[in-house]
């Protein structure tokens, strides 16, 4: 391979799919070049006709480094974001890219809060149901049928009874859109869509992940965490590696989402806020846009979401400066 052709201390660079940084099928390549990587530049979508994003990596034969330079190529310019310690990258199990040193320090603090979401939940995908949807007596929902506030509609009906399967909605659960939305405007971010089901008489398709919550915790608390600014910021950068394509919400994600250990006895404020936001969100969807009532409801929801996010920052013990790093 090209690396073997290099002279000692010779350098080479490649432009490759961004999956190099985080995907399991690129793990052996990551391990092979890990010690010698000097630079990783997040290029985003380089070619219009290629759907995948790209990164450039530069390696130096014979020179093992303890850190690498993180950069981002945007609007025709290269922007250097800082140095990434390889010990930090190893801790997050991926080549961190497109992140600043400040962001890494905040993420390290979040990462060490005590436990992970899978310690208090079970994450299951629904069942492949599209081929069964025709007529029937059982309602089916998929990811497009849910939002943060309610189940908006049903996908269709089936005759097949799927009780006691992964399609059945369980007690104390949260439904999450199985493929996480990437949004570019007004800023580059993701939006995890988590929903507390208002009733159980639906069967869920395989593009919904059901998060079944331990009896010592409330599904409204988990709803608040998953819909928070903090967790969306963290997951995008330090789990999904700032990818924008096919970000599934399976166990490799929930097993790495940090949850503070002191949450069991500190859920009340989140439960109350979540119930208020969901109630107002449901009401909002019944009101005509461009009316005073619609604006009033949106403002009330916005204020409550701000309060909820502040409580979550407090739960994770973040300082004003660390919050500023996340929100900017």
Q: By three-state DSSP, how is residue 81 classified?
A: strand
Could you tell me if 36 and 87 lie in one domain?
yes
Could you tell me if 61 and 129 lie in one domain?
no
Q: From residue 160, how far is each of 27, 129, 135, 157 by CA, in Å?
A: 41, 10, 10, 9
**Nearest of 33, 32, 106 to residue 327 by alpha carbon:** 106
Burial label for 126, CB within 10 Å (0-12, 13-18, 19+), is buried
Quickly tell me which residue has 């701000």 as its tokens: 306
Could you tell me if 165 and 245 lie in one domain?
yes
**Nearest of 247, 248, 244, 249 to residue 50 by alpha carbon:** 244
Last residue of a domain, one of 36, 68, 98: 98
Could you tell me if 174 and 268 lie in one domain?
yes
CB 250 within 8 Å of CB 179: no
Token duo for residue 146: 């849910």
> Sign (positive/negative) of CA torsion 272, 273, 275, 279?
positive
Examine residue 103 and state whether it is found in any structural domain, yes or no: no
Low-confidence ranges of the chain (pLDDT < 50): none
Examine residue 25 and state whether it is found in any structural domain, yes or no: yes
Residues 6+ apart with CB under 8 A from 50: none
Q: Give the pLDDT score at 100.
A: 86
State the DSSP H helix or E strand holding residue 147, giving kind and residue range, or none if neither: none
Q: Which domain holds residue 37?
A: 2-98
Cα–Cα distance measured from residue 24 to residue 151, given in angstroms and rounded to the nearest whole number: 34
Residue 250 CB coordination number (10 Å): 13
CB 154 within 8 Å of CB 169: no
Could you tell me if 80 and 168 lie in one domain?
no
Examine residue 109 and state whether it is found in any structural domain, yes or no: no
Examine residue 285 and state whether it is found in any structural domain, yes or no: yes
**Nearest of 211, 194, 210, 192 to residue 202 by alpha carbon:** 210
Quickly tell me which residue has 């097993």 as its tokens: 255
Query: Which neighbouring-strand residues pair with 85?
Result: 67
Q: Is the pTM of this model over 0.85?
A: yes
The per-residue pLDDT for range 197-251, each reduced to its tens digit, is 988 899 999 999 999 999 999 999 999 999 999 999 999 999 998 887 778 999 9
Examine residue 104 and state whether it is found in any structural domain, yes or no: no
Could you tell me if 58 and 145 lie in one domain?
no
Q: By three-state DSSP, how is residue 238 classified?
A: helix
CATH of the domain at 316: 3.90.220.20
Q: Give the pLDDT score at 328.
A: 84
| Omega before 186 within 30 of 0, i.e. cis | yes
Examine residue 125 and state whether it is found in any structural domain, yes or no: yes
Q: Give the pLDDT score at 185.
A: 74
CB 235 within 8 Å of CB 250: no
The per-residue pLDDT for range 117-154, each reduced to its tens digit, is 999 999 999 999 988 888 888 999 999 999 999 999 99
Q: Give the pLDDT score at 76.
A: 84
Could you tell me if 78 and 224 lie in one domain?
no
CATH of the domain at 94: 3.40.50.150
Could you tell me if 135 and 91 lie in one domain?
no
Cα–Cα distance measured from residue 237 to residue 189, given in angstroms and rounded to the nearest whole number: 9
Quickly tell me which residue has 């250097």 as its tokens: 80
**Nearest of 55, 10, 17 to residue 36 by alpha carbon:** 10
Examine residue 105 and state whether it is found in any structural domain, yes or no: no
Could you tell me if 194 and 307 lie in one domain?
yes
Could you tell me if 197 and 288 lie in one domain?
yes
Examine residue 206 and state whether it is found in any structural domain, yes or no: yes
Last residue of a domain, one of 65, 98, 131: 98
CB 84 within 8 Å of CB 67: yes
Q: Give the pLDDT score at 200.
A: 87
| Dihedrals phi, psi of 207, to nearest 5 degrees | -95, 15
Q: Give the pLDDT score at 47.
A: 82
Could you tell me if 231 and 83 lie in one domain?
no
**Nearest of 304, 118, 120 to residue 218 by alpha carbon:** 120
Q: How many domains does the chain have?
A: 2
Could you tell me if 177 and 69 lie in one domain?
no
Label the pairing between strands 37-44 and 67-74. Answer: parallel
Last residue of a domain, one of 98, 124, 150: 98
């Amino acid at each position: 391979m090209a690396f073997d052709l290099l002279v000692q201390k010779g350098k080479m660079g490649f432009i490759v799919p961004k999956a190099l940084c985080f995907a399991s099928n690129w793990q052996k390549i990551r391990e092979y070049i890990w010690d010698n990587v000097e630079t990783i530049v997040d290029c985003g979508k380089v070619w219009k006709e290629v759907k995948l994003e790209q990164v450039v990596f530069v390696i130096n034969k014979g020179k093992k480094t303890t850190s690498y330079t993180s950069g981002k190529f945007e609007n025709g310019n290269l922007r250097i974001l800082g140095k990434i310690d390889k010990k930090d990258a190893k801790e997050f199990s991926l080549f961190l890219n497109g992140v600043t040193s400040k962001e890494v320090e905040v993420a390290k603090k979040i990462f060490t809060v005590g436990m992970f979401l899978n310690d208090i939940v079970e994450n299951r995908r629904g069942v492949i149901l599209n081929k069964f949807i025709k007529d029937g007596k059982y309602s089916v929902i998929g990811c497009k049928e849910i939002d943060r506030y309610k189940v908006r509609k049903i996908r269709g009906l089936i005759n097949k009874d799927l009780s006691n399967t992964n399609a059945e909605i369980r007690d104390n659960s949260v439904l999450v859109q199985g493929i996480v939305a990437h949004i570019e405007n007004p800023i580059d971010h993701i939006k995890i869509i988590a929903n507390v089901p208002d009733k159980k008489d639906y069967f869920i398709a395989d593009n919904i992940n059901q998060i079944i919550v331990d009896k010592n915790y409330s599904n409204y608390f988990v709803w608040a965490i998953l819909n928070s600014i903090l967790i969306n910021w963290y997951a995008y950068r330090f789990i999904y590696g700032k990818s924008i394509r096919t970000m599934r919400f399976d166990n490799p994600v929930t097993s790495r989402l940090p949850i503070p250990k002191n949450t069991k006895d500190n859920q009340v404020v989140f439960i109350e806020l979540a119930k208020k936001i969901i109630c107002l969100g449901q009401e909002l969807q019944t009101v005509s846009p461009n009316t005073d009532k619609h604006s009033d409801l949106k403002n009330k929801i916005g204020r409550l979401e701000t309060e909820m996010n502040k409580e979550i920052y407090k739960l994770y013990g973040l300082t004003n400066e660390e919050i500023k790093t996340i929100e900017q």
